[in-house]
Amino acid sequence: MEETKEVQQNTKKLSFKSLLIENIKYRTLLTKKYVEKKPYVRQDIKKVTAFIPGTIKKIYVKKGKRVKEGEKMLILEAMKMKNDILSPINGTIKEVNVKEGARVTKNEILIEFR
Amino acid sequence: MGLKQKTADLKKRMREAVKGGGSKAIEKQKAIGKKTARERILSILDPKSFHENDLFVEHAGRDFDMDKKYLPGDGVVTGTGTINGHPVCIYAQDFTVAGGSLGWAHAKKIIKIMDHALKMKVPIIGINDSGGARIQEGVNALAGYGEIFYRNTLSSGVIPQISVILGPCAGGAVYSPALTDFVFVVDKVSKMFITGPEVIKTVLGEEISMEELGGARVHSEITGNSHFFALSEEECFGQIKELFSYIPWNNEKKAENFPKKPPRARQFNIDEIMPADPRQPYDVRDVIRSITDDSEFFEIQELFAANIVIGFARIAGQTAGFIANQPLVMAGVLDVDSSDKAARFIRYCDAFNIPLVTLVDLPGYLPGIDQEHAGVIRHGAKVLYAYSEATVPKITVIMRKAYGGGYIAMCSHHLRADFVCAWPTAEIAVMGPEGAANIIFRNEIKNAENPDEMRKQKIKEYKSKFANPYVAAAYGYIDAVIEPKETRSFLVHSLDVSSLKVDRMPKKKHGIPPF
């Protein structure tokens, strides 16, 4: 009996949180993965991001330039491959956030449209 | 030369070969808490049972001056021995010899012992401690890995394959453990990754330590690549020996029977473990221990996706594989990781003739963008596939909540469970009462003078009508409603009367599971 109590006391010491599933609040522990998960970010078509970490080899556009959809804007070198980064839309460039030779991380914003 | 001299010569050759990389390299190995390859083998096998093969194999490198080098045993120790008196094949990479790197002769030794294991139908244990491919041997090193992977796949589901990671295991080398049944890791000793921190830094500019990238804890908690986590090599060897007490020697055998023992009922009283309120947590492992022989439970992947519990235990002396929702963690939901964990274990048990016992108490699937985008559909489908495909005896106990898709997935009669029982506390319904009442009585609630009051009343109505095991029992979807304390005898009986079960899937080459 004493040992049963011990088990229950151990359970009491844990820091329970509540988890809502189908309108029912459950008292439970959360996993590290769940607590540390990144919130979802909606993609913004006006922000061109690095799809892979790498180096900016060449930049063809600058602030204020009007570009057409499919126009080459810069070269991002990663994994020994030179990737042409093309404009996703017809638009005017608001800001170029990188310089030639810069190392960029994944999802870093490279170019913003107006 | 007479026999005496020839014997002396043999002994001298053997002494040279077993020195491995020499005393300096061995010292280095020991300084970081690692044993030598031979010590490891001797720690796992029964005393005096190890017989070594291929001690005098010489390496095959001919380029880059490698032909001038002597690499004892080419960096791997292989042979046969016994565990608990039963035969096994084993190999251990020797990090003290050329960093345990894999050349063609090294690979050939491993391939030879793997072929032997498959032919003899005995388990194979691989101890990994290697810097990776021996670059000087070029494509021959790759060929060696490929031949090992192919044999891992052939042996899968025929003989037990155990991988023990006791050092680095990087690049191509990681795929052999990944293809085997169980992977053992030791804290601060095991390191597994495809591309190491150096490469990641030069290519991607991201900095991370080996431990953070692919240490034992990472693979036990985050990736799910490992199944057993230990703090020392000794603890790890103990876990391996314990595992071998639960599993059969090949897919045509059953696990060894042990003398029956009752559970330690004073410590694990089944009537006192579960709170009646379905929203309150408890540790489902206490329920398992209240049912099993001597309240023993050998848990697998304890630290990964803890919202589902899997492992082996014995019931009346016979091994059973347990799969149980864990209300203590994430309310016991099914999600991407817990589905993967459960499905693979179900397939393991099915391949090796181990009956399945499923304990059900789950609110359903975890909602979330991350879950949907991570493919919870195809991951969740693995559980359905694995249960449906399994032809071993399948016994299900519904303890509390069994809502919606979760009810179907957790080895319901519809997936051909052989025995399904429910406790009186079971709630088998299409969804939780709160959600269901909101949908069914939407208009009544909306049009009521006091919607909150009406909602409460309707939830109560739904609860009293559906939040019980008797609706499912009325349709014959469960076979019996039993008191919790009758669970062990229900399982003992179900296992007894299903010992002759023969069930087959339609003839096919193989299915296409949602991997």
Model confidence at B203, pLDDT cuts 50, 70, 90, reads confident
- Residue B493 tokens read as 């009986």
Q: Cβ contacts of residue B370 below 8 Å, gap of 6+?
A: A37, A38, A40
B193 lies in the same domain as B338: no
Determine whether B50 is exposed, middle or buried from the number of CB atoms within 10 Å of its CB (0-12, 13-18, 19+): middle
The answer, yes or no, to whether residue B167 has pLDDT greater than 90, is yes
pLDDT > 70 in chain B, percent = 100
Residue-range definition of the domain harbouring residue A65: 47-113
**Given this model, what pLDDT does residue B85 score?**
95
A23 lies in the same domain as A62: no
A53 lies in the same domain as A108: yes
B426 lies in the same domain as B437: no
Q: C-alpha dihedral over B364, B366, B372, B376, to 10 degrees? A: -60
- Chain B contact for A35, CB < 8 A? no
pLDDT > 90 in chain B, percent = 86
Q: How many structural domains is chain A composed of?
A: 2
Q: Is residue A26 part of a domain?
A: yes
Q: Is residue B128 part of a domain?
A: yes
Which of B280, B306, B438 is closest, CB to CB, to A31? B306
Residue B125 carries which DSSP code?
E
- Chain A contact for B256, CB < 8 A? no
- Residue B157 burial (CB count, 10 A): 16
A51 lies in the same domain as A106: yes
Tens of pLDDT along B420-464? 999 999 999 998 888 888 899 999 999 999 999 999 999 999 989
Contact: B432, A22; criterion CB under 8 Å: yes
The Cα–Cα gap between B480 and B494 comes to 12
Q: Is residue A41 part of a domain?
A: no
Residue whose structure tokens are 């565990």: B83
Sign of the C-alpha dihedral computed for residues B105, B107, B110 and B112 taken in this order: negative
Question: Phi and psi (nearest 5°) for B320?
Answer: -130, 150
pLDDT (mean) for B10-35: 91
CB-CB contact of B164 with B128 (8 Å): yes
**Given this model, what pLDDT does residue B515 score?**
87
- Residue B501 burial (CB count, 10 A): 12
Sign of the C-alpha dihedral computed for residues B345, B487, B307 and A25 taken in this order: positive
Print burial letters for A69-108: b (CB count within 10 Å at least 16), e (below 16).
Answer: eeeebbbbebeeeebebebbeebebeebbbeeeeebeeee
Q: Is residue B512 part of a domain?
A: no
Q: Is residue B20 part of a domain?
A: yes
Task: Please give the angle made by the CA atoms of B460, B462 and B467, to the nearest 5 degrees.
Answer: 100
Query: Best of A12, A13, A15, A26 to disrupt the B interface by mutation (most B CBs within 10 Å)?
Result: A26
Q: Is residue B351 part of a domain?
A: yes
Q: Which residues on adjacent β-strands are paired with residue B325?
A: B308
Q: How far is CA A5 from the centre of its chain?
A: 46
Furthest CA-CA distance within chain A: 78
pLDDT (mean) for B95-103: 93
B215 lies in the same domain as B348: no
Q: Cβ contacts of residue B161 below 8 Å, gap of 6+?
A: B123, B124, B126, B152, B155, B179, B180, B181, B182
**Given this model, what pLDDT does residue B357 score?**
98
Contact: A103, B205; criterion CB under 8 Å: yes
Strands B161-170 vs B191-193: parallel, antiparallel or unpaired? parallel
B352: domain CATH number? 3.90.226.10
Q: Among B246, B281, B313, which residue terminates a domain?
A: B246
A57 lies in the same domain as A104: yes
A51 lies in the same domain as A30: no
Q: Which residues of B touch A77 (CB under 8 A)?
A: none
Query: Best of B370, B439, B462 to disrupt the A interface by mutation (most A CBs within 10 Å)?
Result: B370
* Chain A residue with minimum CA distance to B372: A40
Tens of pLDDT along B347-382? 999 999 999 999 999 999 999 999 999 999 999 999
pLDDT (mean) for A83-104: 94
Q: Is residue B264 part of a domain?
A: no
The answer, yes or no, to whether residue B508 has pLDDT greater than 70, is yes
Note the ipTM here: 0.83
A59 lies in the same domain as A98: yes
Query: Best of A8, A31, A51, A103 to disrupt the B interface by mutation (most B CBs within 10 Å)?
Result: A31
Query: Best of B194, B204, B207, B466 to disrupt the A interface by mutation (most A CBs within 10 Å)?
Result: B204
H, E, C per residue of B22-50: CHHHHHHHHHCCCCCHHHHHHHHCCCCCC
The answer, yes or no, to whether residue B169 has pLDDT greater than 70, is yes
Contact: A28, B330; criterion CB under 8 Å: yes
Furthest CA-CA distance within chain B: 110
CB-CB contact of B355 with B362 (8 Å): no
The Cα–Cα gap between B68 and B90 comes to 29
- Residue B112 burial (CB count, 10 A): 16
The answer, yes or no, to whether residue B286 has pLDDT greater than 50, is yes
pLDDT (mean) for A81-101: 94
Which of A19, A32, A33 is closest, CB to CB, to B331? A19
The Cα–Cα gap between B314 and B322 comes to 10
Q: Is residue A40 part of a domain?
A: no
- Residue B320 burial (CB count, 10 A): 26
Q: Is residue B514 part of a domain?
A: no
The Cα–Cα gap between B75 and B58 comes to 10
B480 lies in the same domain as B459: no
The Cα–Cα gap between A50 and A109 comes to 7
A52 lies in the same domain as A104: yes
Instruction: Output the average pLDDT for chain B.
Output: 95
Q: Is residue A18 part of a domain?
A: yes
Tens of pLDDT along A13-59? 788 999 999 888 999 999 999 999 888 888 899 999 999 888 999 99
Q: Is residue B167 part of a domain?
A: yes
Q: Is residue B257 part of a domain?
A: no
* Chain A residue with minimum CA distance to B329: A29
CB-CB contact of B314 with B258 (8 Å): yes
A58 lies in the same domain as A109: yes
Residue-range definition of the domain harbouring residue B397: 270-430+467-497
Length of chain A in residues, anyone? 114
- Chain A contact for B366, CB < 8 A? yes
- Residue B467 tokens read as 């939040």
Determine whether B483 is exposed, middle or buried from the number of CB atoms within 10 Å of its CB (0-12, 13-18, 19+): exposed
Q: Which of A3-17, B60-74, B400-414 has the highest mean pLDDT?
A: B400-414
B444 lies in the same domain as B457: yes
Q: How many structural domains is chain B composed of?
A: 3
The Cα–Cα gap between B419 and B412 comes to 9
**Given this model, what pLDDT does residue B285 score?**
98
Contact: A24, B363; criterion CB under 8 Å: yes
* Greater model confidence, B200 or B307: B307
B298 lies in the same domain as B216: no
Strands B356-362 vs B161-170: parallel, antiparallel or unpaired? unpaired
Q: How far is CA B208 from CA B196, B204, B212, B234, B440, in A?
A: 9, 11, 6, 29, 52
B239 lies in the same domain as B334: no
The answer, yes or no, to whether residue A11 has pLDDT greater than 60, is no
Closest to B423 (Cα-Cα) out of B267, B273, B217: B273
Query: Would you give the end-to-end CA distance of chain B in angstroms?
Result: 62
Q: Which residues of A touch B267 (CB under 8 A)?
A: 3-4, 7
A90: domain CATH number? 2.40.50.100
* Chain A residue with minimum CA distance to B222: A33
Closest to B336 (Cα-Cα) out of B224, B219, B220, B412: B224
Tens of pLDDT along B41-57? 999 999 999 999 999 99
Amino acid letter, residue B356: L
**Given this model, what pLDDT does residue A12 score?**
56
* Chain A residue with minimum CA distance to B434: A23
DSSP codes, B290-325? TTSGGG--EEESTTSSTTEEEEEEEETTEEEEEEEE
CB-CB contact of B53 with B27 (8 Å): no
Q: Which residues of B touch A24 (CB under 8 A)?
A: 278-279, 363, 432-435
Which of B203, B330, B438 is closest, CB to CB, to A23? B438
Residue whose structure tokens are 């909540």: B401
Instruction: Give the 3-state secondary structure of residue B393.
Output: coil
B285 lies in the same domain as B210: no
Model confidence at B278, pLDDT cuts 50, 70, 90, reads confident
The Cα–Cα gap between B111 and B149 comes to 10
Q: Cβ contacts of residue A85 below 8 Å, gap of 6+?
A: A48, A72, A73, A74, A75, A76, A110, A111
B441 lies in the same domain as B314: no
Q: Which residues of A touch B434 (CB under 8 A)?
A: 22-24
* Chain A residue with minimum CA distance to B283: A11
B242 lies in the same domain as B300: no
- Chain B contact for A4, CB < 8 A? yes
B414 lies in the same domain as B455: no
Model confidence at A5, pLDDT cuts 50, 70, 90, reads very low
Which of B203, B268, B432 is closest, CB to CB, to A79? B203
Helices (H), B91-132: 104-120
> Hey, what long-range contacts does B346-349 have (CB within 8 A, 24 or more apart)?
B346/B321, B346/B383, B346/B386, B346/B387, B346/B390, B347/B386, B347/B389, B347/B390, B348/B181, B348/B321, B349/B321, B349/B390, B349/B392
The answer, yes or no, to whether residue A2 has pLDDT greater than 80, is no
Contact: A28, B281; criterion CB under 8 Å: yes
Pick from A109-113, B164-168, B192-196, B202-206: least confident: B202-206
The answer, yes or no, to whether residue A8 has pLDDT greater than 60, is no
B418 lies in the same domain as B312: yes
A31 lies in the same domain as A53: no
